[in-house]
Amino acid sequence: MIKLEGVTKQYGNLKAVDNLDLQISAGVFFGLLGPNGAGKTTLIRMLIGLAKPSSGKVYIGNMEVERNNNKQKSMIGIVPQHTNLDKELTVRENLIFCGKLHRIPPEERKKRIDKLLDFIDLKEGEHRLSQKLSGGMQRKLMIAKALINDPEILFLDEPTVGIDLNARRNIWDILKAMKDRGKTIIMTTHYIEEAEYLCDRVALMNEGKIFFCDTPENLRKQLGNYTLEYFNQDKKTEYLYYKAIEEAKDFAAGLDTDFTIRETTLEDVFYNFTNRKVM
């Protein structure tokens, strides 16, 4: 469904994206995980045609990405990091306006909006101004806007940034339901638990490069199933990784300081390979 061949994006001396090769199959929930400045948003902008690669090629549906390719535009929905709602319009009016931009006929447009309002649980608030919505409700409305044209591929750039835990979990349920409907979803995030819970495959990205790409389970296993944490003599935390818990316990038995043995997470994987903790 999506393919990148040697894609680089350079701004002056800065390589925001550095010679990436990547393939994403149809129906996959794919996560781009990394800290701020890793190149995630730049990569998404190239995938949706808002930025042109300095070198290399980007394909969606076997077509090279071009800004004015209307067929490709009809295939994708976009949820940007920053709010893209018309604040003076109501929830329903935002969706009506978006549907008109996609030239969806009035009768079909109404059917889609009614279904989307039920799907994102905003039916009761459909006549509220979008500027009066909570952060979580605004995010759900942004997702509904991205789905109005029934796209095959959905791009989400930090979809739950800045909202509370309950709203975040509610959006996770919406995204899981979209995955079950066969959508291909590409999501950038720096919330480790978000990628771990939602994604079929995760790409770990830092300084413009993707240095690991696999399922969350395989990434954890490659590092080690169990993590041992303890303070060294300089009162700094050390992390050791083991395939078997018995190995971790054997090492810990010789320590004269407090320690913790726990299951390895994606955060451990990312920290181990970049030595730059995701915040």
Return the CA Rg of the chain: 21
Strand, helix or coil for residue 168: helix
Q: Return the DSSP state at 125.
A: G
Own/partner long-range contacts of 168-176 (Cβ < 8 Å, ≥24 apart):
168/136, 168/194, 170/121, 170/136, 170/140, 171/136, 171/139, 171/140, 171/143, 172/197, 172/198, 174/119, 174/120, 174/140, 174/143, 175/29, 175/143
pLDDT value at residue 206: 87
pLDDT value at residue 36: 80
Are the beta carbons of 53 and 8 closer than 8 angstroms? Answer: yes
pLDDT value at residue 67: 78
pLDDT value at residue 225: 93
Cα separation, 278 vs 202, whole angstroms: 14
Give pLDDT tens digits along the chain (279 positions): 899 999 999 999 999 999 999 999 999 999 998 888 889 989 999 999 999 999 999 999 888 998 777 788 889 999 998 899 999 999 999 999 999 999 999 999 999 999 999 999 999 999 999 999 999 999 999 999 999 999 999 999 989 988 888 898 999 999 999 999 999 999 998 788 899 899 999 998 889 999 889 999 999 998 999 999 999 888 889 999 999 999 999 999 999 999 999 999 988 888 887 765 443
Are the beta carbons of 278 and 266 closer than 8 angstroms? Answer: no
The one-letter code for the residue type at 238 is: E
The tokens for 200 are 């079929």
11: exposed, middle or buried (Cβ count in 10 Å: 0-12, 13-18, 19+)? exposed
pLDDT value at residue 275: 67
Are the beta carbons of 119 and 144 closer than 8 angstroms? Answer: yes
Domains and CATH numbers, the chain: 2-218 (3.40.50.300), 219-274 (no CATH)
Cα separation, 114 vs 151, whole angstroms: 17
Cα separation, 268 vs 143, whole angstroms: 30
